[in-house]
Amino acid sequence: MCGIIGIKSCVDISTKIIEKLKILEYRGYDSAGVSYLKDKLYCKKSVGKVDKLAKKIDCHFDIGIAHTRWATHGKPTLHNCHPFLSSDKNVAIVHNGIISNYIQIKNELSNKNVVFDSETDSEVIAKLFDNKTLTIDSIRKVCQKLNGSYAIVGLTATGILFGAKKGSPLYFAQNKDEFLIASDIACFEDADSFFTLQDGEYVIVDKKVQFFDDEKIIEKISTQLDFDKYKYAKTHENFMIQEILQTPTLVKRYLLNQQKLNINKYKNVYLFGCGSAYHCAKIGEHYLRQLNKNCKAIVASEIGEEKCDFDNALCIFLSQSGETIDTLNALSLCKGKATTVALINNEFSTLARECDIIVPINAQKEFSVASTKAVTMMIVAMLCWIKEQSYNDYKKVFNINENVLKELANKLYNNESLFFVGKGIDHIINCEGALKVKEIAYINANAYLSGELKHGPLALIDEKAYVIVSCSQKRFVDKTKSTICEIKARGGKIVLFTPFLSLIEALDNEDYSVLLPNITSELVPISALYSYQLLSYYICKNRGLNPDFPRNLAKSVTVE
């Protein structure tokens, strides 16, 4: 969370740095700030999105650093905005991560009469810079005092740009006479050479560019990047709808180049993920049990509560960003004990670097905070491990009548709560549907197992309730009929997602239905998922909200 960038150039970058900061906005959008060098270091800050900051920039500059914030320590107020300045105002820094010992450092510095202007953990980094001249040793000295995680970009009043990394992502790129340090590859579209900084590495851009580790100067080799994969181009009103609608093409492309994984040869298989990626892990568990009975999905942050048997084990880590700290923590507990696999959308992520095997889902960059195409692609990738998938089978998966979903959204958007009910795999897809509605439309949506309704949740159903019931499997049809009766007897209205006409025909006029395509039973859940993504998008739009930037969230969750 939080996006940071620094640019050193010989031409004006005042517009460019703001454009690049906008690319990073998906990492947090509570406030934004920039520091640049003219006769001295200046800071401009604003609460809210980068557009507001852009209005405050009224001069040209050729070197600067900038930050877009997802608040952790201290509210999203002006005084908590980055960048922060050292006490002598000779160094400005922006930070992504969490400094876990900041209170101790703050107390030590306060005792030496250092004055703090913010409640953030990050400000201590700036205030630790107390040398007149900046050298690699003074940067190392500051970093050695920090516990926790950080990606830092700094700028000095003498025109030195520098970066330091531990835990949070940081990349460096050069384009002719321009140098960039940033949290995301997406900022480097026009770069000639590109470098990934590893934990404990530093880059200093002064008269020349130099890389260091904790002891010495190091040589780094530039990586070739296919920037098309990371390109930032908005072709629709919002990224979310653009990304949902990209899914069929991505699936088609992926199926031409399916990556196998031999699940059978392992005694135990564990799948780890957070949020939507955990739902994918649950779906993976459901499908992969066809090959290996000892398959279990675990919420990454709960690994400490689970007893994993690492004997001949395969641990699969699912993550769109590859930077989710809870997933990385789970990985660190499995590393060396089991074979590790990263099922990811970011091949340059920490997860990709740290796992034994990488399975890229090739979903291209996902900007919208709510994950959609990446979720679907993770499921498709896992289905390829069970058996070769044929595009013929997928042709109808995305044949959903969008107008029906738009009309439905019109009916549902004013509700304060929404129920999702289903069995087995449908329940898992419902959990994901409910999460999407919650996160972008702020409706209290919850998924319940149909068999569990009568053990409690039915008390919530009355004439005002809309209940999304899904039935993707033929063997669930009879049970679903009973579920529908139970709900209707309490006055609830049904919104049915199913490919089975017999179920739809049994509904009343006041109920609604979305006909899912008549395809193989293992693929119907993907159609339901796709429909839920579209439905949540239209509900969100009806409520007048921006689906790309839901409140309180950020795309890359790099804090515990």
As annotated, the active-site residues are: 2, 555
Determine which residue in the list 46, 118, 149, 324 makes contact with ligand F6R, applying CB under 6 A. 324
- 268 vs 319, beta carbon nearer ligand F6R: 319
Could you tell me the smallest distance in angstroms from the CB atom of residue 149 to ligand F6R?
Answer: 15
Distance of CA 5 to the CA centre of its chain: 19
- 5 vs 299, beta carbon nearer ligand F6R: 299
The answer to whether the beta carbons of residues 130 and 111 sit under 8 Å apart is no
- 428 vs 496, beta carbon nearer ligand F6R: 428
Q: Reduce the DSSP state of residue 299 to 3 states and report it.
A: strand
- 142 vs 435, beta carbon nearer ligand F6R: 435
What x/- string results for residues 219 through 238 when contact with ligand F6R is judged by CB under 6 A? Answer: --------------------
- The span from the CA of 399 to the CA of 115, in Å, is 61
The answer to whether the beta carbons of residues 440 and 536 sit under 8 Å apart is yes
Determine which residue in the list 31, 96, 242, 321 makes contact with ligand F6R, applying CB under 6 A. 321
Q: Establish if 439 lies at the interface with ligand F6R (CB under 6 A).
A: yes
How open is the CA angle 24-26-32, to the nearest 5 degrees?
Answer: 60
Please count the residues of the chain.
560
What x/- string results for residues 277 through 306 when contact with ligand F6R is judged by CB under 6 A? Answer: x-----------------------------
Q: Of 111-119, 181-189, 316-324, 399-407, which part binds ligand F6R (CB under 6 A)?
A: 316-324
- 174 vs 376, beta carbon nearer ligand F6R: 376
Write the DSSP assignment of 442-468 as a string of letters: --EEEEEEGGGGGGTGGGG--TT-EEE
- 25 vs 439, beta carbon nearer ligand F6R: 439
Determine the size of the site formed for ligand F6R (CB under 6 A): 14
Q: Establish if 327 lies at the interface with ligand F6R (CB under 6 A).
A: yes
> Residue holding tokens 């509904």?
507
Query: What are the counts of helices (DSSP H) followed by strands (DSSP E) for the chain?
Result: 16, 24
The interaxial angle of helices 524-542 and 373-386, nearest 10 deg, is 180
Largest CA-CA distance found in the chain, in angstroms, rounded: 79
- The span from the CA of 175 to the CA of 160, in Å, is 17
Write the DSSP assignment of 1-56 as a string of letters: --EEEEEE-SS--HHHHHHHHHHGGGG--SEEEEEEESSSEEEEEEES-HHHHHTT
In this structure, what DSSP letter does residue 105 have?
H
Which residue has the CB atom at the shortest distance from ligand F6R?
Answer: 275
Q: Establish if 382 lies at the interface with ligand F6R (CB under 6 A).
A: no
Q: Establish if 96 lies at the interface with ligand F6R (CB under 6 A).
A: no
Could you tell me the smallest distance in angstroms from the CB atom of residue 429 to ligand F6R?
Answer: 14
Could you tell me the smallest distance in angstroms from the CB atom of residue 325 to ligand F6R?
Answer: 9
- 26 vs 266, beta carbon nearer ligand F6R: 26
Could you tell me the smallest distance in angstroms from the CB atom of residue 543 to ligand F6R?
Answer: 17
Could you tell me the smallest distance in angstroms from the CB atom of residue 371 to ligand F6R?
Answer: 3
Could you tell me the smallest distance in angstroms from the CB atom of residue 376 to ligand F6R?
Answer: 12
Amino acid at 76: P
Could you tell me the smallest distance in angstroms from the CB atom of residue 468 to ligand F6R?
Answer: 18
The answer to whether the beta carbons of residues 63 and 17 sit under 8 Å apart is no
Determine which residue in the list 120, 238, 242, 320 makes contact with ligand F6R, applying CB under 6 A. 320
6: number of Cβ within 10 Å: 30
- The span from the CA of 120 to the CA of 1, in Å, is 14
Could you tell me the smallest distance in angstroms from the CB atom of residue 539 to ligand F6R?
Answer: 14
Q: Establish if 121 lies at the interface with ligand F6R (CB under 6 A).
A: no
- 53 vs 554, beta carbon nearer ligand F6R: 554
Question: Where in 352-381 is the site for ligand F6R (CB under 6 A)?
Answer: 370-371
Question: Where in 453-482 is the site for ligand F6R (CB under 6 A)?
Answer: none
- 197 vs 343, beta carbon nearer ligand F6R: 343
Question: Where in 238-277 is the site for ligand F6R (CB under 6 A)?
Answer: 274-277
Could you tell me the smallest distance in angstroms from the CB atom of residue 276 to ligand F6R?
Answer: 3
Alpha helices (H) along 417-512? 424-441, 477-489, 501-505
Interacting residues of 263 by C-beta distance below 8 A, sequence separation 6+: 269, 288, 291, 292, 295, 314, 385
Question: ω before 360 within 30° of 0 (cis)?
Answer: no
Report in angstroms the alpha-carbon separations of 18 from 214, 241, 518.
32, 24, 48
Q: What residues make contact with ligand F6R under the rule CB under 6 A?
A: 274-277, 319-321, 324, 327, 370-371, 435, 439, 557
